Amino acid sequence: MSNLFDKTTDALATSLAMRQIRHNVTSANIANAETPNYHAKKVDFEDALARALDLDGNNALSTSHGEHFGVGGKPAVEPGIYENPDVAMNNDGNTVDMEKEMSALAENSILYKSALQLINKKMAAMKYAISETR
């Protein structure tokens, strides 16, 4: 399979998938704001995404001889979903802070839309390049 998309497009696509997961987790936290003993969850994927993309090239695998098999492929990016340790517990054992969750949801929505706009612009540029070559 040819590599039609560059590293940036792959990063944006992975970011969109991870932001969807973050949206689902944050929405679940908001939905369970009144549930006794519910512990708010948090999603962390930025570090995993940076390692997978290896933007600076420090983590790249290489071969020491020309006849060695090459290593490559895209590593899977798995988000870390865990209980949020940064919140206080209410009297009923619930740890959801609605203000923080709503602001996190708004921030995630803005970043999702931004990544989507960037992908749309890259696709429009590709479409333009293809149509101009005819």
- Check residue 68 and give its pLDDT: 60
Mean pLDDT value across residues 34-59: 77
CB 30 within 8 A of CB 95: no
Q: How far apart are the first and last CA of the chain?
A: 24
Helices 98-132 and 7-31, axial angle in degrees (round to 10): 150
- Check residue 70 and give its pLDDT: 52
2 pLDDT above the threshold of 60: no
Please state, in angstroms and rounded to a whole number, the distance separating the CA atoms of residues 67 and 63.
Answer: 9
Mean pLDDT value across residues 2-7: 66
CA angle 93, 22, 7 (to 5 degrees): 155
- Check residue 126 and give its pLDDT: 85
- At 55-85, the pLDDT tens digits run 555 555 555 666 665 555 555 677 888 898 8
- Check residue 10 and give its pLDDT: 83
